[in-house]
Amino acid sequence: MSAFFLVFVGGGLGAVSRYGSGLLVGRVAGHGFPWGTLFVNVAGSLVMGLLVSWLARRSSGDSDLRLLLAVGFLGGFTTFSAFSLDAVALYERGEPTAAMIYVLASVLVSILALFAGLWLVRQL
């Protein structure tokens, strides 16, 4: 099956799941704090860890399942899970300094970029 199709299907299902989970958790936990986003990020990271470990134990590695579930579904559910996997992979490869730089740069630069985008549009 086409890699792009697998990512497309998984991503769509993941995005719908993110939206539904966010609404449900937000309703249960209350407003004022982004509980839905926090839940999705933590749950997606947990599932990414489980999935990557399970796929690594399979002799075939099953690239179609990886594309559908890890890249597609979890990528649509939360890109935070991919970010978490990248950070842990750097750390486990013996590069803790690179992992810390990646985490800090990703979070800080992304927040600064969001501020920049807000500022640019507000100047119009």
**Does pTM surpass 0.85?**
no
Per-residue confidence band for 82, with pLDDT thresholds at 50, 70 and 90:
confident
Dump pLDDT digits (tens) for 29-79.
Answer: 877 777 888 889 899 989 998 998 888 887 676 889 999 999 999 999 987
Tokens 């740069």, located at residue: 105
With pLDDT > 70 as the criterion, what percentage of the chain qualifies? 98
**Residues in the chain, total:** 124
Residue 78 assigned as binding residue? yes
Closest CA to 17 of 54, 66, 72: 72
- Say if CB 17 and CB 74 are below 8 A apart: no
Residue 11 assigned as binding residue? no
Report how far residue 73's alpha carbon sits from residue 87's, in angstroms, rounded to the nearest whole number: 19
